[in-house]
Amino acid sequence: MQLVTYRAEAIGFVPKAQFRPQPDAGPDASGAITGRREVWFPEAGGFVDTPIYDREKLKCGNRFSGPAIVEQMDATTVVLPGMVATVEPYLNLILEMP
């Protein structure tokens, strides 16, 4: 006898994720900088010494100007020269061109 497929079903309670606004930590995002590297930005006319931010270390209220790179486990965000990045209370990164 050969068994090829097994199936299991389960029923359980899974609580909904709860997102709570975080307290404002102020505009200084320098604690999230993990390094710097030269990055090519055509808008700037070539390579620019660019800070690299760790997304997990950015706190509510942090604000920084581009050019910048924000690295996280599943994505990389490029903040172009002239853009401003702000972390809002639910820790979303808001990019604006003033």
- CA–CA gap between residue 55 and residue 71 (Å, rounded): 6
Q: pTM of this prediction?
A: 0.81
Confirm whether 18 is domain-assigned. no
User: pLDDT band at residue 10, thresholds of 50, 70 and 90?
Assistant: confident
Q: Would you say residue 13 lies in a domain?
A: no
pLDDT value of residue 43 = 85
Q: What does the pLDDT average to over 23-29?
A: 96
How many domains does the chain fold into? Answer: 1
Asked if 66 and 85 touch (Cβ cutoff 8 Å), the reply is yes
Q: Is the pLDDT of residue 8 over 90?
A: no
Q: CA 65, CA 27: separation in Å to the nearest integer?
A: 11
For 51-79, write each residue's pLDDT tens digit: 999 999 999 999 999 999 999 999 999 99
- Residue range of the domain that includes 69: 33-96
Mean pLDDT of the chain: 94
- Alpha-carbon distance 4 to 35, whole Å? 51
Please indicate, yes or no, if residue 43 is contained in any of the structural domains.
yes
